[in-house]
Amino acid sequence: DVKVTQSSRYLVKRTGEKVFLECVQDMDHENMFWYRQDPGLGLRLIYFSYDVKMKEKGDIPEGYSVSREKKERFSLILESASTNQTSMYLCASSPGTMRDTQYFGPGTRLTVL
Amino acid sequence: RKEVEQDPGPFNVPEGATVAFNCTYSNSASQSFFWYRQDCRKEPKLLMSVYSSGNEDGRFTAQLNRASQYISLLIRDSKLSDSATYLCVVRTSRYNQGGKLIFGQGTELSVKP
């Protein structure tokens, strides 16, 4: 079974703090993704990576950065957290062919006060 | 106009009912189509892929109409455990590696005894 894990299920941070969200997958997948999910807006892609040290902007990259130093790990960084970044953050991975589905981690519910 | 549109519901149905969800997508170059299921406070999980010829998995039937850019999911003999949000998902060819998934907002289903 594919397993995607995220470092925290719940996180509370203050405005202006630097926040790191970690994601690890154990299936040697090429592609990894970060989404945020908000009521009424669905899942929106923040960043994705199709190889180590490679990254591509998704639909809403502003205020975020990512790091992929190892194939199994994809980190999302909020350089200076703001209240509008309060959301559910979901990491996903996929093997890399066009027909492959994505496997999601359990999510991190981030609250920025 | 949203790239993937679904009726958000909620659909409230009795056990044993047949329920149908519809979804439209705007990008005619879309490559692959899926239905994901998301339980409350959980991550999305693949329910089934959708093929042009239509496909069935037990009580679930998915159909794709490329000409009308329309996807459907039919659930027969609804069970209480079917209560969840069903996400219509489309893969575009916009990115060169792995494609990009576009998620609909989801349709909420509540099956009552």
Of residues B28 and A70, which shows the higher confidence score? A70
Question: Quick check: A101 and B34 CB within 8 A?
Answer: yes
Report the residue from B32, B44, B97 with minimal CB separation from A96. B97
pLDDT in tens, A37-49: 998 888 999 999 9
Question: Quick check: B87 and A50 CB within 8 A?
Answer: no
pLDDT band at B70; cut points 50, 70, 90: very high
Nearest Cα neighbor of B24 from B7, B4, B9 is B4
Spell out which residues of chain B touch residue A58, defining contact as CB-CB under 8 Å.
100
Report the residue from B45, B99, B103 with minimal CB separation from A43. B103
Give CA–CA dist A53/A76, Å, rounded.
13
Rounded mean pLDDT of A10-26? 97
pLDDT in tens, B85-113: 999 999 876 555 456 788 999 999 999 99
Question: Quick check: A98 and B100 CB within 8 A?
Answer: no
Question: Quick check: B98 and A58 CB within 8 A?
Answer: no
DSSP assigned state of B29: T
Rounded mean pLDDT of A83-106? 87
CA distance A43 to chain B (A): 6
Q: What's the pLDDT score for residue B79?
A: 97
pLDDT in tens, B5-30: 998 889 999 999 999 999 999 988 88
Question: Quick check: A42 and B105 CB within 8 A?
Answer: yes
A vs B, Cβ pairs < 8 A, gives 57
Of A25-29, A30-34, A98-102, B63-67, the range with the lowest mean pLDDT is A98-102
Give CA–CA dist A30/A33, Å, rounded.
10
Phi, psi of B87 (to 5 degrees): -105, 125
Question: Quick check: B97 and A99 CB within 8 A?
Answer: no
Q: Residue B48 to residues A22, A41, A103, B112: CA-CA distances in angstroms?
A: 28, 23, 13, 24
Rounded mean pLDDT of B54-65? 94
Q: Does position A99 have pLDDT exceeding 70, yes or no? A: no
